Structure 1
C-alpha cells in the first residue's frame, strides 16, 4: 500500500526512533500543554551560590572531585521543557539501543550473535497467516513512531516529578554542568509546606553527590555497561500485547484491573520481552544502584543535616513522594533495568550503615576506590564479607 510505504519513509528518516514525536509528546506531558515562564533571574543567582556550597561540602565529606574537569560545578536551572529536551538527548543512545534490540538487526548482548527473529504468525490465526504477517510488517514499519511516542511518554512523565538530572541514578554525558528543575522543586516545596531555600539546597547537595560518584571513571563505565547490556537484552515480542489481552477473562470482575495492568506494562506496549541475558545482568545492576543510592543518602545525612535547617522534614517528604510514585511514572526505570523500590533502597542503606559501623568513614571511602572494590550481590547483604574481601579491619576503633 503506497500510503504506508510513504509513511514509513517519512518516519524512517530520523533513524530507529522518531525523535520529533518523542519531543512533542514529552513536552506536552511535562507542561500539560501550558506555556512556561523562564526561570526567575533571582533563582539563577541563588543556585549559582548554592552550587559552590554543595560542591565544597560534598568534596570535603567524600574525598571525591564533583567536577570532572576540576574547573568547578555549575548548577543550571531549567524549565520542564528544557529538562525534557536535554534528557531525551542524554539518553538517546539507550533508547536507540532499545530500538535495535527490538528490530531485526538486534544482537544477543551475551554472544554478539544476531537476535532471534520475531515469531512467525500462527497459520491457524483467524486473520490468516498472510494477514498476520502483513500486520507484523506494518507494526515494524511504524516501530520508529511507536518507540518515539513511548520514549517521549516516559521522559515526559519523569519530568513532572524530577528535581534534577539524577532522579534516574545513571550517568549523563560527562561535564561540569548539573541540571536542576526549578518549577518542580518550587512546586514540591509549596505542596509540602517546606521552605523553598531549604529544598533548593537539599536538591543541589543531592545532585552534586550523584554527579561526584557517577563521574568516577570506573563507576561510570560499569554503570553504563550494565544499563546498556540490560536494554540490549530485550527481545521483540510482537504478539505480546494480543497475548496479554487474550489471557484476561471478560467474565472476571477483576478484568478491568487486569486490562489496566496490561496498558501500564511498558514491555507489553513496546512489544518487548525480557530475556535470560537480562537475568544475568540484573543482580550486578541492582547491587551497584542500591549501593550508590545508599551512599548518596549517607552523604546527604552527613552534610545536609548541618546545612539544611529543615533537613529531616525535606528528606521525609522526598521519601514519601518516592513511595507514592505511580507505575506509569516508573516506565523508564523498568526499561533501563532500575529497581528503585523501597526495599532495594533500604538494602543499600543497610549496607552503607553496616560498613560505617564496622570500619568507619575511612572504610566507606574505599567503596569507589577501584573497580575490584565494587560490592557483589552477596556482599550487599553482608557488609562484613565486602570488608573482608578488600582486607579492611572491621573494627573502627582499631
Structure 2
C-alpha cells in the first residue's frame, strides 16, 4: 500500500520529505487535515463568490451527492464513506461462493484444533464467514465509526481554533454549511481509505483490531488468493495459514476483555491531545505571511490555501500524545508477536509452507500492510518491525522457559504485560518471570479461613519478635 489511506495523522516529520511534492502526511499531501483541499476545491470562495449553495453545483462530487449534505450523524459522513468505498470496489467485485464459504469454515475449524494444543486461551470463534471486499467494508463500518469519529472531531476542533482571522473571513460565507461539508470531506476521504484497505486485508483482524461481529472468524477469499500469488504453495495451505492467524487473534480478543478497549483508548488519548498553541501559531503565521508575496489576501483563496499548506497550523505532539503512541505501539506489537508465536508453534511441524508464508507476512508488514498504514495515517504511528520482533522473542522465550500457561497468564492483567522499556531487553523480562508472583502480597490471605493467621509473621505461637512467649 503505497498511499496513506486515512490522512488524519501528522505529516512526515522529515523536513526533506515534507518539501517533496505529494509528501507531508496523509491523503492530503502537504495539507494533512484536508482543509487546504476544502478551500482549494471551492475555486471562487470569497466575499464576492456569491451564494454558498451555488458552489455545490460547481463541484461534480457535491453535485451528485447534495442529498448527503443533510447528514447529521457525526463528523464523518458514513453514508458517503460507504457508498464511495463500494463504488471504487465495484469493478473488481467478486461475490463469495458456497464452496468458498465451506472452505473458510473448514479452515477455521482446523485452525482452532491446532491452536488448542499450543495455547491456554480457548476458541473465540463460533462461526466462520467468507466475505467479499464489499462485505468487508459494510460489516466493519460500526468498528470504524467508533474508532474514527472521536479523532475526526478533535481534528476539526483543533483546525477551527487555529484558523487565522483572515482565513475565517474567507470561510464566513460558508459558516452555515461548514459542518456538513466537513462531514462530506471526511466521508469521501474515509471511503477511499476503506476501499484501499479492502483490496488487501485477508481477515477481519488484519489492521490489529477485530473489526467484525463478535464470535465471527472471517477470511476474504479474493485477497487470500492474492496473498498466495507467486508463492508456489497450494491455496488450501495459504488459507489455513491465514485462518490460524485469524483464529489466534480472535482467541486473544475474546478472552482478554480489556485489550480492545485499551487499544482504542490509546488512539482516543492521542486525539484528545490534538490542540494548538495560539502564540506559536501567531509566530508561525507572521513568518509565513512575511515570506508570501503580497501577504495574505482574504479575497484570494489561493493565498489562504498556501498558508494552510505551509505547515504553520499543524499541531505539535505533546508528551501525553507521545506516551499514548508508545502504549499503542507496544500493545499492537504484543498482539502481533503473540499471534506469530502461537501460529508458529501450531503450524511449523504441520504446514509445509509455513516458513515461506510467515516470511511473506513479515515482508508485507515491513513494506506497510493494513495495520501499518492504518495507524500511520490515523495517528502518525510508524510501527517498527524491530518492536514486533522483540515482542515475538518475549512470547517464544516465555513458552520455552516457563510454559504456555505462564506465557498466556501475562494477558490476565495489563500490568503484567511487558512495557516498552521491557521490550528493549526482552530476555531480561522473561528471566524475571516466575521468580515471584507480583500480586502475591495483594492476594495473601484471601483464601485463608477467617481467623486463621497461620504463616503470618508473629502468628506461629511465638512472640511478635520470634522469641518464645512468656509463661
1:330–1:44 Cα change, 3 Å: same
8 Å contact kept, 1:234–1:272: no
| 2: CA distance, partners of 1:339 / 1:330 | 8
For 1:376, the equivalent position in structure 2 comes to: 419
8 Å contact kept, 2:80–2:191: yes
The one-character-per-residue Cα deviations of 1:115-157 (angstroms, maximum 9, x if unpaired) are 796114155xxxx762265578875552101111121122211
Q: After alignment, is 214-223 or 194-203 more displaced?
A: 214-223
For 1:262, the equivalent position in structure 2 comes to: none
8 Å contact kept, 1:295–1:349: yes
8 Å contact kept, 1:178–1:208: yes
1:333–1:86 Cα change, 3 Å: farther
For 1:25, the equivalent position in structure 2 comes to: 84
Q: Is 1:304 the counterpart of 2:347 in the alignment?
A: yes
1:385–1:284 Cα change, 3 Å: farther
Q: Is 1:131 the counterpart of 2:170 in the alignment?
A: yes
1:225–1:20 Cα change, 3 Å: same
Q: What's the offset of the Cα at 1:361?
A: 3.4
2:330 pairs with one of 261, 264, 287: 287
Q: What's the offset of the Cα at 1:308?
A: 2.0
| 1: CA distance, partners of 2:389 / 2:334 | 10
Q: After alignment, is 371-380 or 202-211 more displaced?
A: 371-380
For 1:275, the equivalent position in structure 2 comes to: 317
1:34–1:19 Cα change, 3 Å: same
8 Å contact kept, 2:76–2:183: yes
SS of the aligned residue for 2:409 comes to coil
**Structure number with larger C-alpha Rg:** 2
1:272–1:156 Cα change, 3 Å: farther
Gaps of 5+ in 2: 1-50, 57-65, 292-308, 437-471
What does residue range 1-398 of structure 1 map to in structure 2 within 5 Å?
A: 1=51, 3=53, 10-29=69-88, 31=89, 33-34=90-91, 36-67=93-124, 72-104=125-157, 118-121=161-164, 123=166, 130-131=169-170, 140-172=179-211, 175-215=214-254, 216-235=256-275, 273=315, 275-276=317-318, 277-325=320-368, 330-335=373-378, 339-356=382-399, 358-384=401-427, 386-387=429-430, 391-392=434-435
TM-score (norm 1): 0.75
8 Å contact kept, 2:117–2:346: no
SS of the aligned residue for 1:168 comes to coil
Q: After alignment, is 188-197 or 297-306 more displaced?
A: 188-197
The one-character-per-residue Cα deviations of 1:189-226 (angstroms, maximum 9, x if unpaired) are 23433211001000100011011112211323322322
8 Å contact kept, 1:206–1:296: yes
8 Å contact kept, 1:22–1:153: yes
> RMSD in angstroms over aligned alpha carbons?
3.7
8 Å contact kept, 2:115–2:244: yes
Q: After alignment, is 90-99 or 351-360 more displaced?
A: 351-360
SS of the aligned residue for 2:128 comes to strand
| 2: CA distance, partners of 1:49 / 1:327 | 25
The one-character-per-residue Cα deviations of 1:351-396 (angstroms, maximum 9, x if unpaired) are 3344345434343222212232122111122235544665447xxx
Aligned residues: 350
Gaps of 5+ in 1: 105-114, 250-266, 394-398
TM-score (norm 2): 0.65
8 Å contact kept, 1:166–1:207: yes
